[in-house]
Amino acid sequence: MHFYLTARHFDLTDTIRAHVQQQIVDAVEAHTDPHDLNRVEVQLMTGQRDALFGCHVLVQLPGHQEVNITEHNQDLYAAIDSVKKRLTHALASRKERKLTVGRHPRN
């Protein structure tokens, strides 16, 4: 898995990097198979619309499938946490669909 972390318009600190690692990367690894992950990109930004901070996550999976999630919030850590929640839900539902289709093939 290739992991890319980018901060736009502010400096990336070790605390923020550790929080992203703990929240997003660990959630992605827990809800996908290790050989299914191609790339995970996280972009942290400031100055978007009314919210002060934003977090965008792109997870590339095999078969040209992507999970693309963006959240904006007044607090950077809250934006990261809400992305984690949506990402966990998206990956869990994708995994469940994959298992269901495997059990009930079309005729």
Q: Mapping DSSP to helix (H, G, I), strand (E, B) and coil, where does residue 45 land?
A: strand
> Which pLDDT score is estimated for 96?
85
Global pTM exceeds 0.75: yes
Tens digit of each residue's pLDDT (9 = 90 or more) over 66-106: 999 999 999 999 999 999 999 999 999 988 887 787 676 66
Tens digit of each residue's pLDDT (9 = 90 or more) over 6-65: 999 889 999 999 999 999 988 998 888 878 788 999 999 997 566 689 999 999 988 888
Instruction: Extract the runs of DSSP E, i.e. beta strands, from the chain.
Output: 2-8, 39-46, 53-61, 65-73
Cα-flanking dihedrals φ and ψ of residue 13, to 5°? -100, 165
Domain ranges of the chain: 2-103
Asked if 40 and 58 count as a contact pair (C-beta separation under 8 A), the reply is yes
Q: Mapping DSSP to helix (H, G, I), strand (E, B) and coil, where does residue 4 land?
A: strand
Asked if 85 and 24 count as a contact pair (C-beta separation under 8 A), the reply is no
CATH architecture entry for 2-103: 2-Layer Sandwich (3.30)
